[in-house]
A and B are shown apart, each in its own frame.
Chain A
Amino acid sequence: MAKSIDVSDLNIYYGDFLAVEGVTIPIAAKSVTAFIGPSGCGKSSFLRSLNRMHEVIPGARVEGKIIIDGNDLYGAGTDPVAVRREIGMVFQRPNPFPTMSIYENVIAGMRLNAKRMKKSEADDAVEKSLRSANLWAEVEDRLRRPGSSLSGGQQQRLCIARAIAVEPQVLLMDEPCSALDPISTSAIEDLIHDLQHDYTIVIVTHNMQQAARVSETTAFFNLSAVGEPGRLVEYGSTTKIFSNPDNESTEAYISGRFG
């Protein structure tokens, strides 16, 4: 069910601007991979290129190869819509659909796959997803209220519920906890622990402890200078990166000496 991802020599462009250069990294199935690095180094851009969300920005494109379980992600025969149904995403900023209720938000993705759903089936999926995202208790009695009536942190958990409701094979999370309190954060981390048995998870985070807590593999991205493209400096098992990284800049970043 889970899928491994193989990235080789990936360049990411916004128009003529080369934002990320030469990324080569294998991402193992059924594991959690954390991306860390200073702001603007291209973590979000790279993450978005993994489910072909990068190209929805006008002028944006990528070069290089991404292989997901043997299939070329950017091959001519690959349908980006099908890709995105299997590779879910949680964005850096919460974005529930404001015109839908909480309930509708959660099943929005399922509705795309199956137009007709039994009411009981939908109810179960909504409850299960909201429980996993640690939101159920707070919204149980107001599922028909608009998604935008929630607080920022609740909205982010709603987005997480929406993403996992379709049971994607890969889950990409872009700083999912940056708007959350410690209790919700730890609930999301628990969720990540549970999910990694079945899913491949990639998470971008600015929180070193979080990366250390949830991930098996950590990849460090960096910028050599402003205006220069971001690069993958190194990746490896999280224990190694945090205790004994190969690269000096990794060590400096992790120990908080810059960035």
Chain B
Amino acid sequence: MATRTRSEHPPVRRGDRIFSATALGAGILILLILAGVAIFLLVQGVPGITAGRGSLSGRDSFWAYVGPFAFGTVFASIIALVVAVPIAVGIALFISHYAPRRVALALGYIVDLLAAVPSVVFGVWGITVLSPALVPIMQWLEDNAGFLPFFEGPTLTSGRNMFTAGLVLAVMILPIITAICREVFLQTPRLHEEAALALGATRWEMIRMTVFPYGRSGIVSASMLGLGRALGETLAVALVLSGSAIYTFNTLAAENSGTIAANIALQFPEASGTAVNVLIATGLILFVITFAVNYTARKIVDRRSEFSGAN
């Protein structure tokens, strides 16, 4: 017992000290990087927020300029999320609880592979394959569900509209959501699954009684990660969509709201002077949106943490 000391503090082991120092260092580093980004955005962005008409593509104020793009960003991401989450949960559940071992393994690899595909590939795929393929579906939606503002039409013949952009985003965020959900579902304690089965639950009832409630916070976190990726996605949207500065829920027509990230990517090369500051300021807005989304998600998760099974 050489490490024991007579001081009032309990002895601290060397391994513990090294670990806590590393963890603290990493934590501080993350905060520093985040603060650095925030400061950069603020310093460079504030002149953009107060910029005059000249650098705002003819808009009266910065807010009028960024508004449609912020709307488009959130709208596209929500479409992606609404499409991707149920599919991701379904695939994850199939892998974790239904598929035979070997199929599950293969599917798991494929999903992980999909997550590694660069976004430019998705963009090109969206233009060349997905958008023409979707046109008949869009047409059908316009004809049969045209009373909904989303499917008002008229359908753009190239198919390169918000509908396609949203679906491309959905495909992009599908793997990450699936992968996390699968991990979370696999973590459901055997003991609780057996408790449900022993009460006479079918497999689906067992999943509803144990797997979903237990994985709730995980599903929310996974969705938020996916949403974060969708919000910040640049290339795929920039390639598929020719966004303009308007507000519209119509996903099928030629005129679509652009997204902040795509707008930055498209405008940045030609921008100069205050116009650059304006673009950086829109980046700041994106930062705030993403932050707000994550914060809300955390709140949702925390609200029922007592019942999460983690205690």
CB <8 Å contact, B194 and A99: no
In the complex, chain A residues 84-138 whose Cβ is within 8 Å of any chain B Cβ: 84-86, 88-89, 91, 93, 95-101, 108-109, 112-113
Q: A84-B197, A89-B198, A108-B209 are in contact. Are A98 and B307 (CB under 8 A)?
A: yes
Q: How many A-B residue pairs have CB under 8 A?
A: 81
Q: A81-B202, A85-B200, A146-B307 are in contact. Are A99 and B214 (CB under 8 A)?
A: yes
Instruction: Please name all residues of chain B whose beta carbon is closer than 8 Å to the beta carbon of A89 when the two chains form the complex.
Output: 198
- Give Cα A53 to B200, complex, Å: 10
| Chain B residue at minimal CB-CB distance from A166 | B199
A100-B197 contact given A93-B191, A95-B192, A108-B209, CB 8 Å threshold: no
Contact status of A88 and B198, CB under 8 A, knowing A95-B191, A99-B214, A148-B311: yes
Say whether A76 faces chain B, with CB atoms less than 8 Å apart: no
A56-B197 contact, Cβ under 8 Å, with A81-B202, A97-B209, A98-B311: yes
Count of chain A residues with Cβ under 8 Å from any Cβ of B?
Answer: 32
Total residues of chain B contacting the partner, CB 8 A: 25
Cα–Cα distance between A101 and B304 once the two chains are bound (Å): 12
CA–CA, A86 and B200, complex, Å: 8
A91 and B205 within 8 A (CB): no
B196 at the interface (CB under 8 A from A): yes
**A162 contact from B193, B197, B199, B205, Cβ within 8 A:** B199
Q: Which one of B195, B200, B209, B309 has the highest number of Cβ atoms from chain A below 10 Å of its Cβ?
A: B200
Task: Tell me whether A97 and B194 are in contact (CB under 8 A).
Answer: no
Cβ contacts under 8 Å, B193 to chain A: 56
| Min distance, Cβ B139 to any Cβ of chain A, angstroms | 41
In the bound complex, residues from chain A placing their C-beta under 8 Å from that of B192 are 95, 97-98
What CA separation (Å) do A163 and B200 show in the bound complex? 11
Q: How far is the CA of A108 from the CA of B205 in the complex (A)?
A: 11
B198, A97: Cβ atoms closer than 8 Å: no
For residues 257 through 311 of chain B, which have their beta carbon under 8 Å from a beta carbon of chain A? 306-309, 311
Judge if A185 is at the interface, Cβ distance under 8 Å: no
Which residue of the partner chain A has the closest CB to B213? A99
**Complex: how many Å from CA A108 to CA B201?**
10
Flag if A91 contacts B214 (CB, 8 Å).
Answer: no
**A159 close to B (CB within 8 Å):** yes
Residues of chain B with a CB closer than 8 A to A146's CB: 306-307, 311
Does B55 have its Cβ within 8 Å of any Cβ on chain A? no
6 A-B residue pairs with CB within 8 Å: A53-B198, A81-B200, A83-B200, A99-B216, A112-B199, A149-B311
Interface, chain A (partner B; CB < 8 A): 51, 53, 56, 58, 81-86, 88-89, 91, 93, 95-101, 108-109, 112-113, 146, 148-149, 159, 162-163, 166
Q: Nearest 8 A-B pairs (CB), nearest first?
A: A85-B200, A99-B213, A98-B309, A109-B199, A84-B200, A95-B191, A89-B198, A95-B195
